[in-house]
Amino acid sequence: MVRVKFYPVKESIEGAVKAPPSKSYTHRVLFIALLADGESIVEDILISGDTKATINAVRKFGGKIKNNKKIIGVYELKSPPTLYCRGSGTTIRIASAIAALTKGPVLLYGDTTLNRRPMSPLISALGSLGARILSRNGKPPLAICGFQKPKSNSVRIDASISSQFISALLIIAPMIGLTIETYGRLKSTPYVDMTLKVMEAFGARYEREGYRFFRVHETGYKPTKFMIPGDFSSASFILAMGALKGKVRVEGLHVDDVQGDKFILKVLSDMGAKVRVTKDYVEVESSGILEGIEVDCGNTPDLVPVIAVLGACAKGITKIYNIEHLAFKESNRLESIRRNLKQLGVNVRVRKEEIIIKGCNKLKGARLHSFNDHRIAMAFTIAALVAEGPIEIQGFNRVSDSYPQFLTHLKSLGVKFEVIK
């Protein structure tokens, strides 16, 4: 397990990096291109630990990927006996829905972190359509035997745990014609918008009523060209560093995109950082001091680790709420954040759906754990910029799940660190 020791920055960080391609878009485009019979051209595919799981799934289902750019979809899907999804929740959830289109059986599983993540709402929904699914108490591994023809053209699904369940059903819907009704307290709705945007680009047609009702026509998908935009989720860590200690520019971000995590720009501005947006880049500069804020992250759970660390470095109280679904991520992020902030000497309280943080004048140097969660690892790197001593993070290898160039980008900005294997 890789450890990285980060050292406090005496002056400031400054420079420019290019945002990595969006992980969330990459998953969706690859799976939809698989279902489009023919050759699609996809520019700027992210190659990371999580997307490698999706690339493997596309190939196992019978698709071909050439030069990380040409995706050749198939009319008849194969039924791979086994499908290893690494640590990627998006991969296993969408792949489970696609497996239901095959004869099966298909055994889907992942690493220890993935095999703890809930799948019950999707299992129930696919079961109501005619798939036969065996699971371990509603969690992976899953054994799926698909339906030749769904026994219903409508389905209801609980959307309170993850929007990925809705996206999985939406992605297969043009192949069978499907009406989807959701219930429960919806979370992460911008990811549903992203799914629909990619579906439209590949020729799908649908009607919707907000996030509660979707009627998707049986159109199938048509091969197309698609450009993966820059990832606001990954860029948030770099932008936060600029807000805290210097001035950074991230190129390749488009604020008119549907990505929910562009919300980080408002958060940084509200906390007092200087934020400049152009059509080519986003620039964030420290104003010298950050102020605590109250922020609803129901639609942007991946920003919570970043905002929590900024709150620890800010003046006053930061309250992050509507985030009970963080318990079901790569780690229980509510607990991961609480434990690491405590190690840094921060006064923090965690309830079922909120984190309350009292800003700390001086963060302690400490040994922290990533809890096998890439976003926890990257978020607490930010704390090292202003800590009294070095911060060592164990399990840093998980960063490659979403942002393989992270350490390279930090080095270019002047961040000092030591990799310990």
Q: Is 302 a catalytic residue?
A: yes
Question: In what side-by-side order are the strands of the sheet with 70-73?
Answer: 64-66, 70-73, 38-43, 225-227
Structure tokens at 321: 């709420």
Look up tokens 């500069």; give the residue.
285
Residue 1 pLDDT more than 90?
no
Nearest residue to 236 (alpha-carbon basis) of 257, 200, 260: 260
Task: Give Cβ neighbours of residue 11 (< 8 Å, ≥ 6 apart).
Answer: none
Residue 104 pLDDT more than 90?
no
Output the pLDDT for position 107.
98
Task: Give Cβ neighbours of residue 109 (< 8 Å, ≥ 6 apart).
Answer: 82, 83, 84, 85, 92, 115, 140, 141, 142
| Helix (H), strand (E) at residue 120 | helix 120-128
Task: Give Cβ neighbours of residue 327 (< 8 Å, ≥ 6 apart).
Answer: 333, 334, 335
Structure tokens at 122: 């999707």
* pLDDT tens profile 122-136: 999 999 999 999 999
Burial class (CB in 10 A: 0-12, 13-18, 19+), 39: middle
Question: In what side-by-side order are the strands of the sheet with 82-84?
Answer: 82-84, 106-109, 139-145, 132-136
Task: Give Cβ neighbours of residue 339 (< 8 Å, ≥ 6 apart).
Answer: 369
Output the pLDDT for position 352.
84
Output the pLDDT for position 113.
94
Q: Are 142 and 135 in contact (CB under 8 A)?
A: yes
C-alpha distances in angstroms, 255 versus 229, 303, 371? 10, 16, 31
SS3 381: helix
Task: Give Cβ neighbours of residue 149 (< 8 Å, ≥ 6 apart).
Answer: 130, 176
Q: Is 3-20+230-420's fold the same as 23-227's?
A: yes
The domain defined by 23-227 folds into: UDP-n-acetylglucosamine1-carboxyvinyl-transferase; Chain (3.65.10)
Look up tokens 């999804």; give the residue.
85
Residue 405 pLDDT more than 90?
yes
Residue 240 pLDDT more than 90?
yes
Residue 11 pLDDT more than 90?
no
Question: What backbone phi and psi angles, to 5 degrees, belong to 380?
Answer: -80, -10
Average pLDDT score over residue span 76-104:
97
Q: Where are the alpha helices (DSSP H) in 129-231?
A: 164-176, 189-201
Burial class (CB in 10 A: 0-12, 13-18, 19+), 101: buried
Superfamily of domain 3-20+230-420, CATH level 4: Enolpyruvate transferase domain (3.65.10.10)
Q: How far apart are alpha carbons 368 and 201 in whole angstroms? A: 43
* pLDDT tens profile 155-205: 999 999 999 999 999 999 999 999 999 999 888 999 999 999 999 999 999
Q: Are 40 and 68 in contact (CB under 8 A)?
A: no
Q: How far apart are alpha carbons 267 and 404 in whole angstroms? A: 25
Q: How far apart are alpha carbons 368 and 336 in whole angstroms? A: 10
Q: Which residue among 158, 231, 257, 302 is the active-site one?
A: 302
Domain ranges of the chain: 3-20+230-420, 23-227
Residue 184, number of CB atoms within 10 A of its CB: 11
In this prediction, what percent of the chain has a pLDDT beyond 70? 100
Residue type (1 letter), 53: A
* pLDDT tens profile 146-157: 998 899 999 999
